[in-house]
Amino acid sequence: MIKLIATDMDGSLLDDDKNLPPDFSETHDILERNGISFAAASGRSYTALAPVFGEQSSSMSFICDNGAFIVHKGKKIFSAGIAPELLREVISVCEEKLPEAYLVLCGEKGLYVTEKYKPRSQKELGFYYSSRIVLDNLAETDDVIFKIAIYDENNPQEYSYPVLEKIFGDRLSLVVSGHLWMDIMQKGISKGSAVKQLQQTLGITAAETMAFGDFYNDIELLKNADMSFVMENANEDMKQYGRFTAESNNSSGVTKAIKKYLTENGLMHKNTTKGYANE
C-alpha cells in the first residue's frame, strides 16, 4: 500500500501557467484521511514552494532545492550547504567562463542575486525566485547556501552544464533542471537522496512510495519509488525512468493518477476519469 506520494512541481503537478490542478485540495484531503503523506519535490526553494499550497502546506512535506533542504509539517529535518570555498570558486568560474549566465544563490535566510547580469526574462526568474536580495558581490554572502541556480538562455544542457561538469563534477552535484536552468548542490544531493531521507523519517520504503516527474532532475526521485510515473509531456528520453506514464501536467495528470490508485484500492468511493497506463 502506498504511504508516501512525492511529485515534482513544474511540468508535473503544476500546469504550464503554474497553477495547481483544480481538484488538488480534494485529492490532498483524501490522502490525509487515508494516512498517505504528500511531498512536493522541486528545484524551488521553500519560500517559493510553501505559499503555492496555502494552509495545506503545514500538513505536507517539501523537498526543496533539488533535495538540499527538507521540511516536514513545518519543521526542517535536513539541510546540506555548499562549502564556502567551493561556492566562491563556482561564482568565480561562472564570471570568467559563462559571462551570460545569471546566478541565484538559494540559502537558509533568502535568495541572492546581483545586478551585474541583466537577464532578458524577469518573468522566468519571478516564477521561481521572488523576493530576491541584491548583492554587489555574491561571494560575500554569509548565509548557508543550499543550491546555486544558473539561468542560461543559451541552453544549459549545451552551454553551462558541460563547462561546469568538467570542472566540478567530482566535487559537486550538477543537474539540468529545466530548459533554461541548471542547479548545483553539495555532492550526493538530489531529489532521490532527499526522498530516501524522508522515507527514513516516516518509516516508509520505496515499495510504499509513488513519485511523479518530467525532467532530468527527477530521475533519482523516480528511481526511489516503486510506483514511478513520468509525465506524458516529458521529453521522450525521460520515459525510460518511469514504470507508468501519467497524463500531461495540463490535464491534471498527477491527481488523475492518484485518484485512480485510490479508487482501485478502495480508498475513495467515486470513479475517476482517465488515469495512467503501462508503458
The string of DSSP letters for 44-56 reads S-HHHHHHHHGGG
The pLDDT of residue 118: 63
The pLDDT of residue 37: 98
Using one digit for the tens of pLDDT, what is the confidence trace for 174-214?
999 988 999 999 999 999 999 999 999 999 999 999 999 99
Residue with the three cell numbers 482501485? 264
Using one digit for the tens of pLDDT, what is the confidence trace for 231-276?
999 999 999 999 999 999 999 999 999 999 999 999 986 444 444 4
Q: Sketch out the chain's domains with CATH numbers.
A: 4-79+190-278 (3.40.50.1000), 84-186 (3.30.1240.10)
Residue 144 scores a pLDDT above 50: yes
| Cα(209)–Cα(207) distance, integer angstroms | 6
What cell does 222 get?
A: 523516480
Average pLDDT over residues 222-237: 97
The pLDDT of residue 120: 64
The pLDDT of residue 271: 41
| Cα(178)–Cα(42) distance, integer angstroms | 11
Using one digit for the tens of pLDDT, what is the confidence trace for 87-143?
999 999 999 999 989 999 999 888 999 987 666 667 777 767 767 888 999 999 999
Average pLDDT over residues 8-28: 97
The pLDDT of residue 117: 64
Residue 209: strand pairing partners: 4
The pLDDT of residue 274: 41
> What is the Cα Rg of the chain in Å?
18
3-state secondary structure (DSSP) of residue 145: strand
